[in-house]
């Protein structure tokens, strides 16, 4: 092998190893019609890629402090028509938005990536001069010709090359791929960067749209799957248009386009609550046999969620899955799935289950600020051990939790109590990172052990549905945050458990149990960041006999050298454990050693 070829191979291998490590550690007018036709029939891209702007920092973050022009602005309805041009990785889009302003104004904005060329803006049917709108950084600012108050309509026609996701879903944008047979296979994944990467929206958690019409025009050999209900499919000049419609609040980042040579598996699930729910799985034709096996996993998962948590929230639309070229994302009613049909040791596809969990924790319940993302990911991650317990019992449940325990970082609090963008939450250098997943899950396990199953699941249902007795038709999608969850827990238990959340949620370090043993005694005390109170019941087993202590101060118990002492034998309390920290340090050293070996080989190949 030539040195240049060896170098390229090593670099490729290094990239694959890096990705694997990250993964292990861790979603009209005639003029407009002519525009679509002209671009669809052109032989080349209509925007010169060398001159196209890149996404701004504003567009590459979702949430945070909202711009002034969006204060008091709500999007009630969106009609989006995407013409997708795979040959040039381009879009032509016509959008109609119904907005409501809480106060009279002439200055509003929506979020839309600046990579797009704005062809026309209309407000309440009148063309807005180009001099009255600008989009230098991804906030499309409109200076209206007359004051608006209450409801008004904005139409935005635009075109361009949307941001391409280099490593979806961790890197947001369009994922342009091809199947083994060479057909286009396309998906969107914008969880981190937000909806504005491809459609005009209010890129905040509260920016959810009540109703949407989503029309996707693609080459006629492809199928387009999206959110909600498929209303119709029409054909014209070698293209097909798939018209999807939503009738409930949808997460803005969970609006998704999934395009490919799909076949679809369909069935009707008879809900635990008696209603019928359409189930659809859009899969690649080449994976027909595998998809049938995975499709059989969906009814048992629905049984679990409806029995343990409550009704599937979007039963009037569908429970949908689309096979994607990226790993997956919680796209509402059309979950992205790319786990290659793998099962784990617990007997089911964890990725399908995790993304499905977000229909309850993320889509039905949405945090009102990304700072509270653990309500999505912590609950979503706890559902897998809980499902394992539902299927296989307590031993498998604890084994699943222990796998999660190894990955905790504990560098930043899970909640900072300030408005955050998604990137600030997920970036482990400035925020909690993956702790919103596994640590959130383990905190919920400890809470459940503390307050008992009845109170825990009542509190969960109250958080998700706004009632402890949800049935289809008596709830709607809702927003919440950690403070409301604490209030719910306190109200249901009749106790003030603020101390529990102060220790686990609002500070980074886990409580550490200090144990000092002599020939005749064992002394136990908690070491807590900021010396916060932590009156959690702690079981201590001595020769198989269990006693429960509240360590509001150091406690000493008599033991002899021969006594077998196990603290917290059933792993009820999440805490700092030295054996786990040593194992994490060992794993880190192994990763660093492998990286050093690759770097050494690359340098040798360069000589």
Express each pLDDT in 333-382 by its tens digit: 999 999 999 999 999 999 999 999 999 999 999 999 999 999 999 999 99
Between CA 269 and CA 42 the distance in angstroms is: 45
Element (H, E) at 426: helix 422-426
Provide the CB-side half-sphere exposure for 30 (13 A, CA).
0
| Ranges of residues in the chain whose predicted pLDDT is under 70 | 1-52
Nearest to 257 by CA among 199, 312, 298: 199
Kindly report the three-state secondary structure assignment for every residue of 365-397.
EEECCHHHCHHHHHHHHHHHHHHHHHHHCHHHH
pLDDT at residue 1, as a whole number: 40
pLDDT at residue 46, as a whole number: 33
pLDDT at residue 60, as a whole number: 84
Q: What is the DSSP letter of 132?
A: G
Between CA 367 and CA 376 the distance in angstroms is: 7
Query: For the chain, how are helix, strand and coil distributed in percent, rounded to 5?
Result: 35, 30, 35
pLDDT at residue 61, as a whole number: 84
Phi, psi of 413 (to 5 degrees): -60, 150
pLDDT at residue 327, as a whole number: 96
pLDDT at residue 52, as a whole number: 59
* Tokens linked to 311: 């009704």
* Tokens linked to 140: 């499309």
Strand, helix or coil at 170? coil
pLDDT at residue 32, as a whole number: 34
Phi, psi of 374 (to 5 degrees): -60, -25
* Tokens linked to 71: 């204060």
Helix then strand count (H, E) for the chain reads 13, 26
Q: Are 331 and 168 in contact (CB under 8 A)?
A: no
- Ordered domains of the chain (ranges, CATH): 42-62+70-254 (2.60.40.1730), 261-339 (3.30.2010.30), 360-504 (1.10.390.10), 512-573 (2.60.40)
**Total Cβ atoms within 10 A of residue 179:** 16
Total-model pTM: 0.88
Q: How far is CA 13 from CA 24, 171, 408, 601, in A?
A: 16, 20, 27, 11
Phi, psi of 239 (to 5 degrees): -130, 160
**Tens digit of pLDDT for each residue in 163-178?**
999 999 988 999 999 9
Q: Are 567 and 524 in contact (CB under 8 A)?
A: yes
* Tokens linked to 562: 């021969």
């Amino acid at each position: 092998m030539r040195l240049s070829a060896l170098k390229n191979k090593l670099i490729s291998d290094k990239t694959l190893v890096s990705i694997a490590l990250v993964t292990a550690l861790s979603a009209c007018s005639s003029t407009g019609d002519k525009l679509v036709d002209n671009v669809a029939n052109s032989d080349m891209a209509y925007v010169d890629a060398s001159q196209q702007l890149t996404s701004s920092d504003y567009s590459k973050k979702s949430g945070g402090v909202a711009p002034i022009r969006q204060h008091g602005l709500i999007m009630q309805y969106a009609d989006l028509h995407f013409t997708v041009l795979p040959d040039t990785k381009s879009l032509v889009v016509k959008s109609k938005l119904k907005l409501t302003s809480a106060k009279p104004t002439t200055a509003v904005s929506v979020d839309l990536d600046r990579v797009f060329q704005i062809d026309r803006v209309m407000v309440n049917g009148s063309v807005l001069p180009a001099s009255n709108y600008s989009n230098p950084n991804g906030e499309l600012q409109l200076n209206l010709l007359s004051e608006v108050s209450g409801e008004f309509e904005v139409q935005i026609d635009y075109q361009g090359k949307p941001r391409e996701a280099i490593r979806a879903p961790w890197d947001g944008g369009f994922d342009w791929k091809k199947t083994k047979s060479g057909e286009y296979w396309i998906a969107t994944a914008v969880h981190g960067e937000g909806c504005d990467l491809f459609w005009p929206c209010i890129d905040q958690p509260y920016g959810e749209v009540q109703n949407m019409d989503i029309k996707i025009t693609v080459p006629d050999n492809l199928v387009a799957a999206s959110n909600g209900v498929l209303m119709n499919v029409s054909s014209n000049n070698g293209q097909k248009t798939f018209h999807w419609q939503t009738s409930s609040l949808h997460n803005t980042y969970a609006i998704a386009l999934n395009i490919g040579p799909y076949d679809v598996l369909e069935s009707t699930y008879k809900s635990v609550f008696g209603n019928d729910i359409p189930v659809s799985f859009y899969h690649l034709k080449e994976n027909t046999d595998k998809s049938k096996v995975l499709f059989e996993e969906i009814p048992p998962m629905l049984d679990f969620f409806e029995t343990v948590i409550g009704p599937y929230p979007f039963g009037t639309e569908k429970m949908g899955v689309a096979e994607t070229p990226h790993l997956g994302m919680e796209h509402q009613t059309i979950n992205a799935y790319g786990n290659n049909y793998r099962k784990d040791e617990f007997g089911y596809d964890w990725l399908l289950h995790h993304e499905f969990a977000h229909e309850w924790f993320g889509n039905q319940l949405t945090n009102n600020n990304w700072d509270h993302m653990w309500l999505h990911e912590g609950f979503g991650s706890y559902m897998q051990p809980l499902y394992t317990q539902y299927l296989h019992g307590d031993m498998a449940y604890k084994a699943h939790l222990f796998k999660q325990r190894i990955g905790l970082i504990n560098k930043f609090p899970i909640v900072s109590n300030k408005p955050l963008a998604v990137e600030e939450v997920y970036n482990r250098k400035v925020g909690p990172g993956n702790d919103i997943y596994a640590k959130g899950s383990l905190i919920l396990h400890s809470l459940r052990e503390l307050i008992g199953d009845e109170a825990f699941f009542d509190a969960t249902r109250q958080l998700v549905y706004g009632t402890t007795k949800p049935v289809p038709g008596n709830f709607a999608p809702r927003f919440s945050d950690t403070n409301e969850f604490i209030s719910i827990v306190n109200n249901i238990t009749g106790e003030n458990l603020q101390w529990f959340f102060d220790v686990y949620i609002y500070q980074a370090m886990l409580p550490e149990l200090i144990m000092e043993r002599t020939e005749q005694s064992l002394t136990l005390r908690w070491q807590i960041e900021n010396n916060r109170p932590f009156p959690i019941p702690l079981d201590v087993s001595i020769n198989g006999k269990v006693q429960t202590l509240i360590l509001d101060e150091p406690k000493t118990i008599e033991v002899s050298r021969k006594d077998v002492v196990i603290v917290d034998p059933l792993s009820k309390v999440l805490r700092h454990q030295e054996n786990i920290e040593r194992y994490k340090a060992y794993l880190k050293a192994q990763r660093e050693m492998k990286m050093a070996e690759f770097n050494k080989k690359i340098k040798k190949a360069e000589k």
